[in-house]
Structure 1
Amino acid sequence: MREWTVEGSDQLISDRWINLRVDHCRTPEGTAISPYYVLDYPDWVVVVALTEARELVMVEQYRHGAGRVLLELPAGSCEREDPDIEISARRELLEETGYEAASWRLVSSLYANPATQSNRLHVFLAEGARQVGAQQLDRGEEGMTVHLRPLDTILPGLASGVIGQALHVSALLLALGPQG
């Protein structure tokens, strides 16, 4: 399997959150694939944060794309001023929950949706999480609430959608699985 050739590219939307471009591609066999739309997001981090009591630090917030309030893991975009992805993960946990953690480990880096998105998702396991302050929410995150949930109440409910965000389910399983 070989990569496609990009014969041209046009930027359609470019702002703080997203870049949408249209690529004009050709497969190795010569088939033209045009237009092919690609979303360029910043990389994302998701944090599986566990307290000493093995409670999962979670947030509940409204997600407009789904039109629902969802229970999720702390997560967000890597910002340009963050020196590295662990700093991004630490910042997101602190901002969204007011928690810090004693130990941090990068579990995995995956593509979020490689068919149409260029960004990666970096999964961190943060153990020894404890509250050190109040939430420091970004504009638009008003109403986000913090929840501590025992792992034994979350894991059995994954298949029934207790966590509705597929990337967060993947992150949780990776962080807590045999290799996590």
Structure 2
Amino acid sequence: MRWDLLFGDLEAQMHAATQQELERQINELARMEASQLTLAQALRGAVGGQLSLVMCNGTAFHGEVRRVEPQWVLVNESNRSVLLPLTMILRVQGLGAQRATAASKVPYTLAAALRILARNRSMVVLDLDSSRPATLRGVLDQVGADYVQLMQLADGVSRDRENRQGSVVVPMNQLVSVASSTDNEF
């Protein structure tokens, strides 16, 4: 009878050691998988939820995450949509543990999203990365590979020819945010 207890105890110890090793391997695989996740995948898990995103220039946006692509996130903030380049995000608050891969096989680049705004002749407000607050208001005339050309307009005026204040070219890597009315979907 003592032998049965001894063998039973050895089997229990072996089973416990095997379980611990298996759990250690599973935890390591989970850590390795998590290390491969991108910010876009983390943000995609929050689509439909509310987040606060603080940009590199200190501007904060609070709203519902509508869409996430590899280069940008679209947030609805009350009566406007704000397109935020992922490279300009300083921190995100309110993000849970949910993660998601891309729903679309064809990712929309930042330039593609901006071309939609240019095609629709949508009024936009560009917030730029600079040492001093820099905001431009107008209509995107042209979207190049790495720049946008904006027809500037005075605040609160229509797009009539007499309200134009000139044109400005902005490198795309200087865009912190692009805000437009919520009517403009990407």
Normalised by the size of structure 1, how large is the TM-score?
A: 0.27
Which structure has more helix as a fraction of its residues? 2
Q: Greater CA radius of gyration, 1 or 2?
A: 2
State the TM-score, normalizing by the size of structure 2: 0.26
Whose strand proportion is higher, 1 or 2? Answer: 1
Q: Greater RCO between the two (CA within 8 Å, min separation 6)?
A: 1
